[in-house]
Structure 1
Amino acid sequence: MKQILVALDFSDVSLLVLDHATELARAFGAKLWLLHVAAPDPDFVGYEPGPQHVRDNRAHVLREEHRQLQEWSKSLRTRGVEVTALLIQGPTVLTLLEEAKRLAVDAIVLGSHGHGRLYKLLMGSVCEGVIRATNVPVILVPARAGESALKTDAQDP
């Protein structure tokens, strides 16, 4: 295993996902690709872009997500892990699968929130979509897996 794609959504489970992916990277001497798939801009999916303050807020959110990915990457690098962070806009499952293929990863690590059946029926499941469509191993980290060893006051590893 030489390349591991780590899907991060900035939820409570993200630091646990990073912990597990870091352990795998160290065990196998693998490179980590930290990937956050941001929702596409409204005009990309056929809606009006909205007022300027909405666009400004969206830009701020994307900058903060990018900053957090870079902070996590920097922290992991100081621990000797080879890592690259990516923030890409698009449909979550499709974008994740395309990046996994483009990067020729050996495994995908992602978090499972453990939502109920109604949520999955209405919203779908990223985990389920990835598992059904990929041909590489998928490692799921459940939200109830425990406390992150990487957690700090600012949620930075």
Structure 2
Amino acid sequence: MNNILIAIDFSDLTPKVIETGAKIAASFGSKIWLIHVAAPDPDFVGFETGPQSKRDWRAKTFREEHRLIQAEAATLSDRGLDVTPLLIQGVTVETLVQEAEKLQADLIVLGSHGHNVLYKTFMGSVSEGVLTQASCPVLLVPTKMLNT
């Protein structure tokens, strides 16, 4: 197993997702690709960009996400793991699947938040989308792991 893609969203489950992927990577001597898919700019999805304040807020959010993923990658690197952080704007499921293929990932590790049926109906499920579209194995870290 050469390449492990660990997908994070900075939720409460993120530390468990990272730790699960890191343990597997350490066992196999795998390279870790730590990825966060940032929300696309509104004009990217067909909407006007809006006033400058919205663009400034989006830029600030993107910088903060960049800082967070760099910090997570540094922590893994300090443990002797080979890790490259990736912060990419896009539609989450499609971007994760495309990056996994591009990086020739042998495994994708991501969290499963366990949203209810109503949420999934209107918002969709990232984990379900990746699970059905990825061309490599996917390991879902369940929300219940927060209690362990």
Q: How does 1:24-103 map to 2 (within 5 A)?
A: 24-103=24-103
State the shift of 1:147 in Å. Answer: 5.5
Paired with 1:34 and 1:45, the residues of 2 have a C-alpha distance of: 25
State the shift of 1:135 in Å. Answer: 2.0
Contact 1:16–1:147 (CA under 8 A) maintained in structure 2: no
State the shift of 1:24 in Å. Answer: 0.5
Consecutive unaligned residues of structure 2, counting only runs of 5 or more, are none
Contact 1:5–1:34 (CA under 8 A) maintained in structure 2: yes
State the shift of 1:82 in Å. Answer: 0.4
Which residue is 2:138 aligned to? Answer: 138
Which residue is 2:118 aligned to? Answer: 118
Could you tell me which amino acid in structure 2 is paired with residue 95 of structure 1?
A: T
- The Cα offsets for residues 44-77 of structure 1, whole Å up to 9 and x where unpaired, read as 1111111111110100000000010001111111
SS of the counterpart of 2:120? helix
Consecutive unaligned residues of structure 1, counting only runs of 5 or more, are 149-157
Taking only aligned residues, the RMSD between alpha carbons, in angstroms, comes to 1.1
Correspondence 1:9 to 2:9: yes
Paired with 2:130 and 2:103, the residues of 1 have a C-alpha distance of: 15
Percent identity over the alignment is: 55
- The Cα offsets for residues 61-102 of structure 1, whole Å up to 9 and x where unpaired, read as 000000100011111111001000000111110000000000
Could you tell me which amino acid in structure 1 is paired with residue 129 of structure 2?
A: G
State the shift of 1:122 in Å. Answer: 1.1
**Runs of 4+ with >2 A deviation:** none
Which residue is 1:104 aligned to? Answer: 104
Paired with 2:72 and 2:112, the residues of 1 have a C-alpha distance of: 20
- The Cα offsets for residues 3-62 of structure 1, whole Å up to 9 and x where unpaired, read as 000111111111110010110111111011011111110011111111111110100000
